[in-house]
Amino acid sequence: MHLRIRSPCGSRPGSTGAGARLRSKFFLCAILLFPPACAPAFETAGPVTAAEIPLLEARTAQDPAAVADLVRLGQGYLEMGRTFDALSLLERAHRIEPLRPSAVAQLGLAYEAAERPDRAREVYEAYRRDGDSAALLAWIDGRLPEVRRQALILAAREAVAREEALAGTPPRLGHIAVLPFHVAGSEAAFEPLGRALAEFMVTDLSVTGRLTVLERTRVQLLLDELALAETDRVDPTTAARSGRMLGAENTVVGTVEASQERVAMEAAVVDVVGAALRGDPRSEQDALQELFAAQKRLALELHDALGIDLTPAERDRILEMRTRSLDALLAFGRGLAEEDRGDFAAAAEHFRAAVTLDPGFQEAGVRAGETEAATEASSPPPPEGVEPGVAEEVALEGGPVPGTGEAFDGLEDLIPDPLVRDAVSEATGREGVGRTSVLDLILRRP
């Protein structure tokens, strides 16, 4: 077993023979007596260098079950864009050690790169169930929103590609999709209302449990894939087309027009099979600051259009205000737009702004936490321990690889205990055990 040391000084002691042992001793002496210049620099694993790749390839060829080398080489291939080569190695490493944090993280990232979010989720969820690294668990929690977003994008692409086949598929009863509200004729500052009001409507329509309301992000990403003009989305034919691809029985379309004084909202339910409105559109108008009350009244009218009789308790829950701050609602809408674009850092900033404007806006607080975690998880996964790079390693005889728990071949006996250091002997260069210098001890060792 070899102790692997990274030498900032560039010295490479030999590995065999008496001369090699003597050179090793002088090398250790230099490390101990001049730590600022030549201390062994064990570092956490960073990006894989080009020089490491051939060494790792040789080592994995020699030992196909060396998990640390398999993971490191897989990471290197992934960074080079050799995704499927990386997957082969990382899947092997994961089969051998399914709870090794680096194997879990790198395999999950490889599945994401291969556009296989379902497999990435399986790997992450398995570790959430059985793993115990708090750092990796936190990182995984942050990765899951991006994995979910990738899955929704792929589902949208598939739906568009299979549109003709889906046209003849019966809709799922009770499923409803809420399209983002078209912001008509308003000042640019009110643009975020389109997504924010749709999100609020999704929540209100979910209260009774008698409807399965598709998440707003899924609907938005399908519309983005279709690249429809915003005005097209309120057309019943277009709404029915979107609903068919989403497997919904009904869709909700709406418009909002706001000024500094007033707000006007209109919404309608579209029957997907018939591609026609279910009843007349419902509309509400009020002073701008009464926008929230108007949105609640519109939610109640949509339940009526869907033929749902609300109980008093359900009605009260729908009428609960999540915020009364227009500025907080606009910040929330801006956060949703950035989240849809995959910019979680910008989304988190807007959600935090919404919470600052209204500390009681719980939905914004939850979104802020989720997007902040996703932002942190966009950086490399946390290291599972101290591992030196391969290209700069220097092997010394007689020592174990760090982290294996094996003895350090007696070297710990050569390092003076800092609690019993002798200032006089240190000043005279004879620090060590008793009155024997460290240099003497090193040179006397066989």
Blockwise average pLDDT, block size 10, the chain, 446 residues? 37 42 41 37 64 95 96 96 97 97 96 96 97 94 94 91 84 93 86 95 95 94 82 79 92 92 93 89 91 95 94 96 96 96 96 97 96 89 60 38 39 42 43 42 41
Torsion of CA 155, 160, 163, 169, to 10 degrees: 20
What the block records as the tokens of 271 is 């029957």
- Show the DSSP H helices in 97-233 as ranges: 101-113, 117-130, 134-161, 163-167, 193-205, 216-226
pLDDT score for 334:
97
CA 91, 92, 97, 103 torsion-angle sign:
negative
pLDDT score for 230:
65
pTM for this model (two decimals): 0.70
pLDDT score for 45:
61
Provide the β-strand partners of residue 6: 393
Beta strands 248-258; 262-271: pairing state: antiparallel
Q: Write down all domains in the chain, each with its CATH number in brackets.
A: 3-43+388-444 (no CATH), 52-160 (1.25.40.10), 170-292 (3.40.50.10610)
Q: Are 159 and 241 in contact (CB under 8 A)?
A: no
What the block records as the tokens of 247 is 């497997």
Beta strands 212-213; 248-258: pairing state: unpaired
pLDDT score for 444:
42
Q: Are 60 and 69 in contact (CB under 8 A)?
A: yes
pLDDT score for 440:
43
